[in-house]
Structures are given as structure tokens and as C-alpha cells.
Amino acid sequence: MKLLASLITLSFFAVAHAQPVPASSAPSAGSDIASKDATAATLRANDQIRSQLNFSDRRDFDDARRGFIATLPQPVLKGSGGRTVVDLTKYDFLRNTDAAPPTVNPSLWRQEQILAIHGLFKVVDGIYQVRNIDLANITFVRGKTGWIVVDTGSSEESAKAALDLINDKVERLPVSAVIITHSHVDHFSGLRGVVSEQDVRSGKVKLIAPDGFMEEAVSENVFAGNAMSRRASYMYGDLLPKSPRGTVGSGLGLVNATGTLTLLQPNTLVHKTGEKLTVDGIDVVFQMAPGTEAPAEMLFYFPQYKTLDVAEDATHSLHNLLTLRGAKVRDAGKWAEALDQTIDMFGGDVAVSMASHHWPQWGNDRVVEHLKKQRDLYKYINDQTLRMANEGLTMHEIAEQFVLPDALAKEFYNRGYYGNLKHDVRATYQMYLGWWDANPANLDPLPPAEEAKRYVDLIGADNIMANARKAFEQGDYRWVATITSKLVFAQPENQAARQLEADALEQLGYQTESGPVRNVYLTGAEELRNGIRKMAAPNTAAPDIIAAMTTDMFLDFLAIHLNGPRAADVHYTFNLVLPDANERYAVTVENGVMIHSKGKTLPNADATITFDRSTLDDIALGKLRLTDLADSGKVKFEGDRAGFKALLGLFDKFDYWFAITTP
């Protein structure tokens, strides 16, 4: 999730400190502009949601509280150096029973209130969950000799806190096995909080994961990591206050733990659907679901407990088919097929379902109904998007007209708390047909700033502002944001346009049902009002992740940093030798492209360069700058040292704090 997106600011350039704020985006001292009240139009929009949904249905609250044992002894978890990893007190404002405040969509408020119920819960005799002390749940199954842990959260610290809690409140046992449902970081990164590397390496503790787990855990989001991380700061509301006028959560979980990221190599992989393992005396039946919510994902069933773990494929929200932070599109049709197979395999016997997020459900009828309606949700999105596309509608036309049938739409677990219906429809269109709508006029649009300047020249800034103010009074905030954004891109210094766009984005945020969409709108409003608040850029490089990266991944990532225009006329050839990894690469830089070939040697290379693979790890961890590599003393040269040093100067250093709401 977010942390994995941030993770590859592990960049070879260790961008650890902010640069000065450009004058165009920096607010004047003491000039911070505060958030504003909900308008009458927003109140009406949120009242409409209240009339559409059955808010008197409190079953989800009851289910979320069922089996409660205890919560953390201290609501604030600290990491090394006293750094705060989790602070549950920041969300205390959700724990009252009052109606939603005017500045929050009431359906989203309901979801976040349920997620504010945190602690240790019994699911059935022998199965327990620690929920909402981290983005994902940590599940404990009583094995013959110890705890079988399912998923380990986002950080070593939160995983350890969960293990300490169950040991203190239920039974003190060793961890006998760990099962990781899928390859997203909030499900595996707490591993060292519950097991030791030695016990996993020796096989004393089984570490079970789906086939392809390591490759996907390390590689997903790496190459677009800087951009993805910056976008994730919008999606998760990192820069917003936690309040009814700021972020109220993500809709998927309450908090994102910001502790130590860890990863260990699994010693047991599950390869096929129907595979069965006996784990510390407990039978487990697996169903593979790659390419659904994650590239490597599996669901599984505990026959002894009649309990189904649906990983992240059937939660209490419409999920993302394309995350707002950016990623590869997920296949709604394949997702529906996986859930249909789940019903076929386990629907006749299952009594309880639980997931990697949210809360369980009890009773065969409710479990199967939930699976069916989640299946049908994704199938409807897939099929109806394609039907409308084949009728000639474009991506945005389909999204605007798309309506779920009431039988699906009025189920709280199908609401867009984390995903978003319009966004998922657009993602499905994109997966099949790409971004272009087939209109030749849209095939090669002008760049945003240039297009904006021409619109402003054509219409006039005063006319745009007059029209936008009138539209704002009418509650037409989407249009206000559209035309004022044009003016902001044409005239970034136009404060009136910036503030009016911010006001419109804020009201859209107050109205939306999706936690991430709310965060995006409100973060945009904040930056328009008060500028980009540059802090130390995220550098969450984790030694475990870095060690798991192949040398090919390192070199691919390095090639992305090569400035093609500057390197267009140079030609270098090098042999790289990594003795500690017993690896050898031929590297060619030509035509602005860096190509590497494993296991090859160029007979007439400019130089042969020998260094340990651990030196690459030092670069990724920020212990050594790439530009200092040639003079570091850690490299042995045979040939052209100056050419290699010149090449190192052709790699870009990415700025995390690039502008989003302004040009």
C-alpha cells in the first residue's frame, strides 16, 4: 500500500532532505488559510445519502464489537528513538455516537466509526484478530504447539504489540507458523515482530506465502516509486489533520503504522488451488487468486473451524481497481471469477468469514450472501462498463451514467469507502481500451499549462472567475474546480483563483463517501491555500526489502534515472563484476538508454568495474551516494575510470515534492 509506494524512495540518491520551497508555492509567514464550513449544497448532498441508506442497521457495529477481549494497554506505540509508530488517540473524535458532522459524508463517518473499534477480538474458539491498531488485521490461530499468525501488519512494532496483546490476554505461546495472504506491504512487513529470521531459515517456523510472493513484494511499485509515493501522500491524507475537517481515515483501516519495514524469504510456497497443508496440526485448504487485489494473493479455509479467510478479495467496501496513488489496473472480471470459485469451494460448509481488513461475519447465509454480492459487484462493473463502451460511450460518459442496482448499491459492504465506483469504471475502460476515447481531437492534447493559457486567453480571467463564483453559489463544485484549475495553471500567482478552487475541492471532499477521494480533495485544497509544505522526503528504505531486490532490479531502477536527452550522444560500455553475489553484467549506455545483460562480458569494454553487491545495498540505504561511488574506495577499476564517473553524473535525482495542483 502506501508504504510500499514510499519504499522506493530508497532511491539510489537517498533524497533525505527537503529543498527550499519555491516562492510560487510558499505561503507567507502567518498566512495559513483555515478550512471552512460545509455549505448549504454540501449539507443537502449529505442529507441525500442519509435518505438513501439504512443507517438504523447496526449489525456491522455489533459484529465489529463481537468477541472483544482487550485493546492495547497504551494507545501510542513508539519505535526506535521514541518515534511514534501508531497513535490511536488521534482518532478519538470518531468514537462518539453523535451523527456525522456536516463536513463528513455520513456513510463514510459510519464506516470510520466502526473502524475506530480497535483491539483483540475472538472470532471463534481458537481464532483471534487484532484489528485497527494498523492498516491491516493480524490474525492468530491456535495451533497444536503455538500461534499460527495470518498477516503481520505494516511494521515490526505493531506486529509485536499484537503478539504481546494476545499472549497477555489469551495464552502465552510461541509462534509456530506465519501465513501471508498477499504481496502488499501492510500484510507482511511486521514479520520480524513475530518471528526471527533464524527460525524461518531453519524451518522451525513455517513461513507460508502464495507463489510469486517475493518477486511481487519487492518489485511492485518500485519503478514509479517517487511519483507513486507523492500521490500516496494525497490518497492517505498524510499532510492533513486528523479531524472532521481533515482526514477521517482511508475507509480500509483506521491508521497506517509508520514503523520498521521487514521482509523474510518464505520457506513454503502455495502453488495451486485446492492445495492442502497441515500447519501445526491445523488443516488449511488454499485457493489461489493472483491478479485480483494483488498480483500474488491467496484465500484459504480452516475446515476445523469452518472459517474462511478471504484475504482482501471480499471486504466491507468496494475495493480499488486502480488505486489513486497509481498502479497497474486490476481485473474486475478475474476478481468476480475468483469469488465465484470461493463460493463453489467453501460456500456449502463455511460458518464464518474474516478478511485482512474490517470485521468478520458469522452464519453461512450471511457469509455466502456477502461473497455473492461482492462477486456480483465486480462482475457488474466489468460487464456493464464493456456494454456501454460497445455502445460508443467514452470512459467519462460511462462513469457519469453508471449506476449500480439497489440490490448491490444499498449494501454497506459494497459502498465505495476505499475504492470509488466512478474511478473503478474508468479503470475497467482503461484496462480494455486505454486512455484515448477515440475522438481524434483528443488524441494529442496540449500540455496542461499550455492548454490552460489558451483557454484563459480565449475566455478571459475575469469571466472565468465570475462564472466560477456563480457556480460555487449554486453548489456546482465540480465545474468550479474545472475552470479555476485552468486559471491556476495559466496564472499560478492568481490567489483568488487558487482560493476559489480550494473552496470547491474542500466541499467535494466533505461530500464524498470514499476516504481516499476525500483525502485527495482536501489535500489539494490545503496545498492551493498554503503551498507545498516541504518536509524531509520519505526515505523508508528497509534493509530486508533492499536485500531481497535482485541486481537486475537495481540496474533496471538505475536505468530509469538515466537522463535520456543528456545521455543521447554518449557511448559507454562496462563490465560489472559482483564477487560476493557471484554475478557478472555487461552494461552498455547508448542512444540515451542503459542496457544490462546478466552473465555476459564485453571483450572491448571501456572498463571492468568490480564491487560487492553489498555496495549497492549501501547506496540504496543512503550510506553511500551514487555520485560518490567512483571515488569511494569500494570499487576496483580496470580501464576508464573517468568515463564511469562521467556516466554517474548523467543520472537524475528525483524531487519528491513536485507540484500537483499547480504547474
**Residue range 90-146, pLDDT digits in tens:** 999 998 777 999 999 999 999 999 999 999 999 999 999 999 999 999 999 999 999
* Top CATH class, 550-648: alpha beta
Average pLDDT over residues 36-46: 98
Asked if 429 contacts 397 with a C-beta cutoff of 8 angstroms, the reply is no
The pLDDT of residue 26: 45
The pLDDT of residue 246: 97
**pTM of the entire structure?**
0.94
Q: How confident is the model at residue 537 (pLDDT cuts 50, 70, 90)?
A: low
How many percent of the chain have pLDDT more than 70? 94
The pLDDT of residue 393: 98
The pLDDT of residue 145: 98
In the chain, domain spans = 2-20+53-430, 550-648
Give the integer Cα–Cα distance in Å for 527 and 2: 20
Average pLDDT over residues 418-447: 97
Give the integer Cα–Cα distance in Å for 555 and 226: 17
Give the integer Cα–Cα distance in Å for 152 and 154: 7
The helix (H) or strand (E) run that includes residue 400 is helix 395-401
CATH superfamily of 2-20+53-430: Metallo-beta-lactamase domain (3.60.15.30)
Rounded alpha-carbon distances, angstroms, from residue 60 to 111, 414, 472 = 9, 13, 37
Give the integer Cα–Cα distance in Å for 372 and 173: 37
Asked if 557 contacts 579 with a C-beta cutoff of 8 angstroms, the reply is no
Dihedrals phi, psi of 574, to nearest 5 degrees: -140, 150
Asked whether the domain spanning 550-648 has the same topology as the one spanning 2-20+53-430, the reply is: no
- Angle made by CA atoms 248, 254, 257, in degrees to the nearest 5: 120
The pLDDT of residue 12: 39
